[in-house]
A and B are shown apart, each in its own frame.
Chain A
Amino acid sequence: MTPRPLLEIENLSTHYVSSRGTRVVRAVDEVSLRINAGETLGIVGESGSGKSTLALTILRVLPAAARIVSGRMLFEGEDLVQKSDEDMRHVRGKRIAMILQDPMASLNPLFTIGDQVAEPIRVHEGAGRGAAWRRARDLLKAVRIPSPETRVTQYPHEMSGGMRQRIVGAIGISCEPRLLIADEPTTSLDLTIQAQYLNLLRELQREHGLALIFITHNLGIVAKMCDQLAVMYAGRVVESGPVSQIFNAPAHPYTEALLNSIPRMSDSVQRLTAIEGQPPDLAALPRGCSFAPRCAKAFDRCRVETPPEFRPGHARTARCWLAAAPSTPEGILVHSGAA
């Protein structure tokens, strides 16, 4: 008896097509995901695994060469794939907001903070300058910026890095979106500011009932921030499910390898294991499972046939033949509610 998810992505594929149509890069391939209101979904994966393209697809702000080839994106019951460009513009920033990879460079150097925080409010709600500025001041207060009354009239160069980041956060929540997509928002920050920012995002999430999609390659942040996790490899979601379950018992060898490559405080003896090899070329995927060439547990079937999405547990999925049978050598948890 789960409520209808806020965003339900089904079989979504986004391909980059070269101008003559000869080369097709499957950046996002048959991805299915769901996120409930107020939840945090972490998306992890190596560079080039399609995480950012997925985020851009959700907002439909893809570069000209990209095509949404198939699939549905049901957001509050409406299919975002079918919406017109003009309708999508009213979704962006108002119902789904996004924080970009480099929030430090996300502010226009020529405008005051107040103008920039007020901009989405004026665009989407047609508010006057005065009213929008008052809202901007409140928003700065909400993201813990000291003395917002004077800060609204200042310019980005007068702010510290951490402040600019929080201002970008304020722009994100300015129209009270239902879903906030954060695409590696902390990669350009040092660790202390990173921690502060993550705390702030969590507080904002709690206060505004936001759903958050958190794109990162840092599993430590996932453990801290997220309820659900989706692991992407070569454009596909190879494993998804609740964070705690995946961390305890990964169903896909790739996830397992990722988890083994994190240094742990507990055992200092064991060497860190790296994943051998390179991620595949998305324009020329190998036959069968795309992780098979690097997988320690691959067997004959993996190299021939692409595994479908199996359900090794309640609300979990894994694209691996090993997850198909309940009696896999890894002893994957199979819950009673398994589909």
Chain B
Amino acid sequence: MSIQTELIALPPRAPSRFASLRLGDFPLIPALILGGIAFVAIFANLLAPHDPEIGSLAARFRPPVWQTGGSSQYLLGTDQLGRDVLSRLIFGARVSMVVGFTAVIFSGIVGTTLGILSGYLGGWVDQVIMRLTDTWLALPALTFAIFLAAIVGPSMWNIVLILGITYWTRYARVTRGEVLSLKEREFVRLAIVAGCSKFTIMRRHILPNILNTAIVLGTLELGVVIIAEATLSFLGVGVPPPEPAWGLMLSDGKQSLMVGRWWLSVLPGVCIMLMVLSANILGDWLRVKLDPQLRQL
């Protein structure tokens, strides 16, 4: 008997770290939903059939097209001021997206910076920042946000600012923990003995190594922030009324929900749910993929 050997062609080595995100278990549906919402938000001007802020009182409370009394002119019906619900949902996507992303990025920058400073510099800087974080965490986030909103007054950019300074604590905590282990790593020590300044080490050696974590946290935080924005708008301290925000639509529709005008509150509710759910599933997938301990090598 002869021994036969076979040549097995090994697959080429992965060229970058993102190649490890194998697409086998990629959550396609959530990605499509989020992508769809983003698309709608970007091209809202072209897609919306009506002006979202101006309605005709003659056409109040029209039901969606498939119910009796609905017309094809208003596919998803109209609200108490005769405004087209579909158009408002489309423009509302823009508000949710803009507020969600900018607030996440803003709080991410604040939290990550504080976390790096706290973890790397240690000592009293660490103490001050961490006690500040503890204080922040002790405050109920939403109440604090309402309080701030009541002070600065409602506007979309104020909401971004408020959510940013309310939700930075998680980044700071997680980042600090990462930094504490990173700064004992050999390459950071090498940078120290090579004479790099503290700032250079934090910027060049620490920051790039915690970006993965920060991005994962950001996607997970996106859902929280969107809900928070919707809540603030629902309570009337968020995006001010003429603008179409999903939370505001929910709030406007709640009185007539009992009379059977379900489309006014259910539709924006579904939109919020789909967006938050998609963001969370995507974030969870990213977390598993980028976490070296959970990643199957």
The interface of chain A, by Cβ under 8 A from chain B, is 59, 61, 64, 89-94, 97-98, 100-111, 119-120, 123-124, 158, 168, 171
- A92 contacts B195, CB within 8 Å? yes
The answer to whether B125 has its CB under 8 Å from any CB of chain A is: no
Q: Which residue of B lies closest to A102 (CB)?
A: B186
- B186 contacts A97, CB within 8 Å? no
The residues of B that contact A100 with a CB separation of less than 8 Å are 186, 189-190, 193
- B193 contacts A105, CB within 8 Å? no
Among B185, B189, B194, which residue has its beta carbon within 8 angstroms of that of A119? B194
Q: Which residue of A lies closest to B189 (CB)?
A: A100
- B193 contacts A108, CB within 8 Å? no
Q: A124 to B195: give the CA distance in the assembly, Å.
A: 8
The residues of B that contact A171 with a CB separation of less than 8 Å are 190, 194
Q: A97 to B191: give the CA distance in the assembly, Å.
A: 11
Give A8 Cβ to nearest chain B Cβ, in Å.
21
The interface of chain B, by Cβ under 8 A from chain A, is 13, 122-123, 185-187, 189-197, 200, 204-205, 208-209
- B186 contacts A91, CB within 8 Å? no
Q: How many A-B residue pairs have CB under 8 A?
A: 68
Q: A120 to B196: give the CA distance in the assembly, Å.
A: 7
Q: Which residue of A lies closest to B16 (CB)?
A: A155
- B195 contacts A123, CB within 8 Å? yes
Among A103, A108, A119, which residue has its beta carbon within 8 angstroms of that of B209? A108
Using A120-B194, A123-B194, A123-B195 as known contacts, list a sample of 9 further A-B pairs with CB atoms less than 8 Å apart, ordered by residue number in A: A59-B193, A64-B122, A92-B192, A108-B204, A109-B187, A110-B208, A111-B208, A119-B191, A171-B190
The residues of B that contact A120 with a CB separation of less than 8 Å are 194-196
Q: A75 to B191: give the CA distance in the assembly, Å.
A: 22
- B200 contacts A123, CB within 8 Å? yes
Listed from nearest, the 6 A-B pairs whose CB atoms lie closest are A93-B195, A93-B194, A92-B195, A105-B186, A98-B193, A108-B187
Q: A108 to B189: give the CA distance in the assembly, Å.
A: 11
**A105-B185, A105-B186, A119-B191 known; A110-B209 Cβ under 8 A:** yes
The residues of B that contact A111 with a CB separation of less than 8 Å are 204, 208
Q: A64 to B120: give the CA distance in the assembly, Å.
A: 13
Q: A97 to B186: give the CA distance in the assembly, Å.
A: 15
Give A45 Cβ to nearest chain B Cβ, in Å.
21
Q: A107 to B195: give the CA distance in the assembly, Å.
A: 15
The residues of B that contact A97 with a CB separation of less than 8 Å are 193-194
The residues of B that contact A92 with a CB separation of less than 8 Å are 192-195
Q: Which residue of B lies closest to A110 (CB)?
A: B208
Q: A108 to B209: give the CA distance in the assembly, Å.
A: 9
